[in-house]
Structure 1
Amino acid sequence: MNAISSPGEFTELDRFMFESWGYLVIPGVLTDAEISECLAASIRLHEAAGTTGWAQIGRGFETEPALERLIDHPAVLPKVRALYGDRFILQSAWCTKQPALGGMGGWHQDGSGAYDFKKLGYPIPLLQLRASFLLTDQSLPRTGNMEMIPGSHRSQVELPGAIRAAKEDVPVGHVICAPAGSVLFFHNAVWHRTFAHDGDYDRYTMHYIYSPPWVRCSDRFENNPEFLDRTTPTRRYLMGPFARPDAPFGAGYPVEFGEG
């Protein structure tokens, strides 16, 4: 059982499933050729960095055109806009590698180590909307899948600490099985973890995280000016260098008063 969506439009059914479960699975987003290009780009990034074990690398879109093209992919961007409106940024982009024969990850919610999103209110607000492009096949369990707990973004209580510490199974865990080229689209507050990977090859996933425009980027302290100069207007906008309608922050007051 999956909350299956189609590329492109965020339909009324999409909204119902996303609000109920906290995530969608979008099969058939990338062609075989695109999968190969993105996988090769991901391997290059990790080989250049000399990563070992489980690892993630940010801002690969600056040097890898295949990964840059996913920033505003037409299968995903309309869904992001439907949830955020027209003002949001690409908060980060992480290329993750789970090594061959990798074990279970730990249960967690996405967020900030500097400030727990749960402090902001209930339900935890949508501050990091993630689109994860699967670059290796995850059609079967134990291939480095993501395991989600449906609807947990609405829970008023945390997953018990003992279960998190021991990385134990929970009876409501849902292992996402989908072929390479699919996208897992989910809310930051859904409890999830990386499932075991029994294969003799490294598993790669490319994650794009979208946030409100005032959230600080987490894969970069500043944008690469050369990348901004050569990329498209839409992607430049998603990097965040656009005029804010409420700047200066004293919006609604005379400028001279705000400057005082």
Structure 2
Amino acid sequence: MLKVKDIVKMGFKREKDGAGGMIDNMVKQMKASSGIIWNSFKELEESELETIRRDIPAPSFPIPFAKHFTASSSSLLEHDRSFFPWLDQQPPKSVVYVSFGSVAQVEEKHFMEMVHGLVDSKQLFLWVVRPGFVSGSTWLEPLPDGFPGERGRIVKWAPQQEVLGHEAIVAFWTHGGWNSTLESVCEGVPMICSPFWGDQPLDARYVSDVWKVGVYLENGWKREEITGAIRRVMTDEEMRERARVLKQKLDVSLMKGGSSYESVESLVAYVSSF
């Protein structure tokens, strides 16, 4: 499933003090642990969870965190809610939400490709541009005059789960970090993935090739591909239906007797047994 360029982009090396060494240590600690809580749910990664259960003897408890607590409650950045009146006025399934997490950074030339890609798509958008996201800029200095205009809104930070659950949101352009990916799955929102490093290329490949609920922008920041990806996600009814079905499976798993419900019950019983 993975391509060579995905593995290269993940950036994991076997050096003792590098990311590869950190992962080796994580696996050792998991194998020695009394139990493992996974931020996921059975129906999303059933075969992968079964493989883990064969390789790691510790009890596993897949629980989708996004449905049990709000990530925004622990955010280190202040949320801007001033855009909600604008978002509330937009038609259902009309706005592309754009956010690349709390760490990623891009060069100015790539930032401008993103700007042109959004403009050329002619779609409504809500864009989270974190201060420092553009290398060499404090915040929005590179933006051309008149952008974003009435078609979009730009904020420094936003309550992501609330935004993804808004009826006006039709797609999520994301870096593909696992928290963001799962939050999007939980709300049935198709994705456009522009991964940077770590697990993100793997998550993006699952979104596009396994679950088929999004598009992987594999060739970097090219305005034509950005525009094409936005238009595809806006109009691909089969993709949107698959995203809706995944959300439905998650919702069912949370009901009494469902896999996530039972996982929480099992975890409580397991912890209480000590």
TM over 0.5: no
- TM-score, normalised to structure 2, is 0.26
Which has more helix, going by share of residues? 2
When you count strand as a share of all residues, which structure comes out higher?
A: 1
Q: RCO (CA 8 Å, sep 6+): is it higher in 1 or 2?
A: 1
